[in-house]
Amino acid sequence: MAEQKFQIDIDDRSVRVRLNVSEFSPHGRFYWCISFIALGALGMCGVLFLPGKHGNPSMWHDLSSSPVDSGNFMFGVALLLGMGLLMVLLLWRYTLSAYPSDETFQCDRSMLTVSKVRWLDFKNEHWDTRSYAVAEIATMRYRAIATARGMSIYGLRFIAGGRKQRVLPGLKPSEADKILKALKVLGVDVPDDPKLPKRLAEEAENRICGL
């Protein structure tokens, strides 16, 4: 995942954050989408054509040697499709967060508004917007919002509209700390987080090591 660049503006009346991915990587999502499809196709080919353990024939051999209306054929096709669907479900949220679209986050003392470009809109023309009253927002925290194979992407997570909301993927601990402190002043429910100071210390240590 590439490091995300956030524009953060805070005053005594509002918090405004913008993730402008298209300015730094205008075609990044398109290239990743193609790569995602290619990797998925490659994985499915491996499952289909590679031989099994102990010299067992490949799934393709079993399918090609079974009648189309046989139980073996139907089971093999269902297994193949199920594995492909499971792979997509497991990786989709991580993909959306690792290669996000443009997003804006604006909060004042009464409303929080989040706008985001549709992920498959590579021209960045169509924005989806959702708004929540500050009074209905609960437990705004800096948390992992997507995880895959031991890798986590952090952002802000909160409850509103009866469900968990995940915004601003790729946010650094120092950026999150700055935003959360300002949101708390505006009346947003931001509980004390004992984990955040540890992440701030880790970020500072990594910054020193990188010098």
Domain with 194 in it: 1-211
145-179 per-position pLDDT tens digit: 988 777 889 999 999 988 999 999 999 999 999 99
pLDDT at position 40 = 75
pLDDT at position 8 = 96
- CB of 134 closer than 8 Å to CB of 107: yes
**Lookup: tokens for 75:** 């089971």
Closest CA to 119 of 9, 204, 36, 6: 36
pLDDT at position 116 = 94
Which own/partner contact pairs does 30-36 have at CB distance under 8 Å and 24+ positions apart?
A: 30/122, 32/95, 32/98, 32/99, 33/120, 36/91, 36/95
pLDDT at position 211 = 53
pLDDT at position 210 = 63
d(CA 207, CA 96): 26
**pTM of the model as a whole:** 0.74
Q: Work out how many domains the chain is built from and give that number.
A: 1
35-49 per-position pLDDT tens digit: 777 777 787 788 778
Residuewise pLDDT in 10s, the chain (211 residues): 556 789 999 999 999 999 988 776 666 666 767 777 777 778 778 877 888 776 778 878 777 888 888 887 888 788 778 877 777 776 677 777 777 889 999 999 999 999 999 887 877 788 999 999 999 999 999 999 988 777 889 999 999 988 999 999 999 999 999 999 999 999 999 999 999 999 999 999 888 886 5
